[in-house]
């Protein structure tokens, strides 16, 4: 009798262990996110090499964002049958480095920012498939801002090119793109990008990738009037999904040593046609 009870207890324990060890749908989606190297890795570290910029003011400076560390991401997952909605965010920490060319004065500002994006996943297979059949379906723009607050804001972004004659984006975290059908430019396609902001006395930049050293470069937008900035971008050549970063900062962030790092950015996922 005791032997039968012992065997029953062992079997019950095995069942419990098996149930505890069994991967859930949430586990599978978390593993998918952890394995992703394109979308769920947003920061501003790779924005540019240190470059000289005449910013239309009375000085010329060099500035760049240094190496960054990151908090553990906060991930919220809501699963309904074979669909899942995901919110992902994390904090980035580093330094903003600035050198004033005319005096060779330099200063460093602590950088703290939060990046956030959203995504949807679909189960396209079975529970026996890799990641229990889940696949990334759509991705939003990513949204970044400085901590503990940001005083500048991008209100909307307009893209004009041959492939996209007039594309206006108003809400980055609620604008989704199918990952198999991102905004896709032709190689070296000329794109006019317009940022509508609440910051007439600021500086706006495009950070992008090119197939040559220094690989990550930035271009300054021209301030047209009343917080509207515009620039022309020649899309990259390599057909790899990436983010283009639209970066807005007040004048004080770059030019006033005792003023804090202040930033708002939108990151647009895009691809290049083969």
DSSP annotation string for 253-265: HHH-TTSPP--EE
Total structural domains in the chain? 1
pLDDT for 60 equals 83
Residue 15 lies in a domain: no
DSSP strand pairing (216-220 vs 222-225): unpaired
pLDDT for 54 equals 40
pLDDT tier, 230 (very low <50, low <70, confident <90, very high otherwise)? very high
pLDDT tens figures, 97-137 = 999 988 899 999 999 999 999 999 999 999 999 999 999 99
Residue 46 lies in a domain: yes
- Mean pLDDT, the chain, rounded, equals 87
State the residue range of the domain holding 193.
Answer: 23-272
pLDDT tens figures, 233-248 = 888 888 888 899 999 9
Q: What is the pTM of this model?
A: 0.85
Residue 205 pLDDT > 90, yes or no? Answer: yes
Residue 9 lies in a domain: no
Residue 216 pLDDT > 60, yes or no? Answer: yes
pLDDT for 1 equals 52
Name the residue with tokens 């970066």.
Answer: 247
Residue 13 lies in a domain: no
Residue 212 lies in a domain: yes
Residue 154 lies in a domain: yes
pLDDT for 50 equals 40
Beta strand spans in 57-189 (E): 60-65, 69-70, 74-80, 83-100, 106-123, 134-140, 142-146, 154-160, 167-169, 176-178, 183-185
């Amino acid at each position: 009798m005791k032997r039968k009870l012992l065997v029953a207890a062992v079997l019950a324990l095995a069942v419990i262990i098996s149930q505890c060890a069994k991967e859930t749908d949430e586990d599978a989606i978390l593993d998918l996110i952890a394995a992703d190297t394109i979308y769920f890795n947003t920061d501003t570290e790779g924005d540019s090499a240190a470059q000289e910029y005449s910013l239309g003011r009375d000085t010329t400076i060099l500035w760049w964002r240094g190496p960054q560390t990151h908090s553990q991401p906060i991930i919220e997952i809501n699963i309904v049958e074979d669909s899942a909605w995901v919110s992902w965010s994390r904090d980035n920490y580093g330094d903003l480095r600035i050198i004033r060319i005319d005096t060779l004065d330099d200063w460093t500002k602590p950088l703290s920012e939060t990046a956030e994006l959203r995504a949807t996943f679909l189960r396209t297979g079975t529970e026996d498939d890799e990641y229990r059949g889940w696949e990334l379906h759509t991705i939003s723009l990513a949204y970044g801002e400085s901590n503990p607050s940001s005083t500048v804001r991008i209100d909307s972004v307009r893209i004009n090119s041959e492939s996209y004659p007039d594309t206006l984006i108003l809400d980055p975290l609620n604008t989704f793109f199918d990952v198999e059908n991102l905004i896709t430019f032709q190689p070296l396609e000329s794109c006019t990008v317009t940022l509508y902001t609440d910051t007439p006395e600021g500086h706006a930049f495009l950070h992008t990738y090119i197939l040559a050293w220094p690989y990550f470069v930035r271009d300054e937008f021209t301030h047209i009037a009343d917080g509207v900035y515009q620039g022309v971008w020649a899309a990259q050549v390599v057909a790899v999904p990436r983010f283009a970063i639209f970066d807005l900062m007040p004048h004080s962030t770059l030019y006033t040593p005792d003023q804090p790092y202040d930033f708002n950015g939108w990151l647009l996922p895009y691809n290049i046609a083969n």
